[in-house]
A and B are shown apart, each in its own frame.
Chain A
Amino acid sequence: MSKIHIEGLIKTYTSKHGPVTALKDVSLSIKQNEFVTLVGPSGCGKSTLLKLMGALIRPSRGTLLFDGARLLHPTRDVGIVFQEAVLLEWRTVLDNVLLPTEILGLDKVKSRGRAMDLINLVGLAGFERRFPRELSGGMQQRVSLCRALIHNPSVLLMDEPFAALDAMTREELGFELMRIWDKDKKTVIFVTHNITEAILLADRVVAMTPRPGRIARIVDIELSRPRTIDMEFTQKFKSYSDQIREVIYHGTGASRS
């Protein structure tokens, strides 16, 4: 059974200029513990698809199964990371990480222990008592990752989580995310507009195109794990990249080689 099963999903919005189709006829099955990246230009509906998987918005039509059941309400089995860390400025790093456990009413002592473990895991040991404003963007995003993992969800939804960071921090966090995922397997759906990042992280890359948003191609990435930075320069990597570029830029009038 797939972790998330999507079939014939349609999402339309009403705007001033009439209905807008954000997603048209999307079908996708995501296996348990799979790392899937959604890549495409702005307006291709990748973030909409992610929100649908978190039940933050409702589909207009189609099927969305989570663990085989229809997803009608947000489930606590999901952790979310956004482009901005959106930490609570009045809480310390530790208390920010603990926020979901307070809302879910989880055991305080156990949660605290788990939070400290996670903070150590992302390399922020010793920063528990610091406030967000004292941290760099990369560090804030690490805290936000801990917050998404604290209640031990089986699915991690990530909406361009590293897009606001500089290139080096971004790369570093990508590898750190894979290291964490390797230790503590989860189903990860990761939205990005960076093709290299999409390939480097994923088991499968879902390439999407806009107007209307739909899946143009799904590419299985058969690079061994753990992934390394050198893989970017292999022939195989380039061929994946070409396959994705081809569909993303096809028909949009843009070309890039």
Chain B
Amino acid sequence: MSLVNCPDCQRLYKELDEYIDSVKGNTGVLINVLHKAQEIFGYLSEELQQHVSEKLDIPLSQVYGVVTFYNFFSMKPKGKNQIKVCLGTACYVKGADKILERLRDELNVEMNEPTSDGLFSIHAVRCLGACSMAPVVLIGEDDYYGRVSPDEVSKILDKYRRAE
């Protein structure tokens, strides 16, 4: 996604720049800025990293290093609805692997890749801190599903398909 063929980009970059200006000068803000950038753009493309690097006056190598170090940051576009399956021990013991398997079957997609319609992508995450509700699936930022059984998977997905 480059600036030229993205009609929204200018607006999005403006939003990001406003945030950067508000925190610039404080120490150690890179990670917070990347959080914001990913929130706005969905993922951290090379252009975007270049932009952050220039705005914050931090070497691109360092920005790239941070982006690739942390699990939360992604350099690839994700599905509109990111499905995070917790594979922490507590969820694993309660059958999280079977949920993952069912999801991949249903969506016919590799891990971390968006589906062909761009609607979903599946990500394995470590503990989401809701172990009493294991196995846990998180869709987007707020839609937690607890004690999920493999048979509920398609019902859950339908909810998001219908929303389209």
A, B assembled together:
no
User: Which residues does A use to contact B, with CB under 8 Å?
Assistant: none
Binding site for A on B (CB under 8 A): none
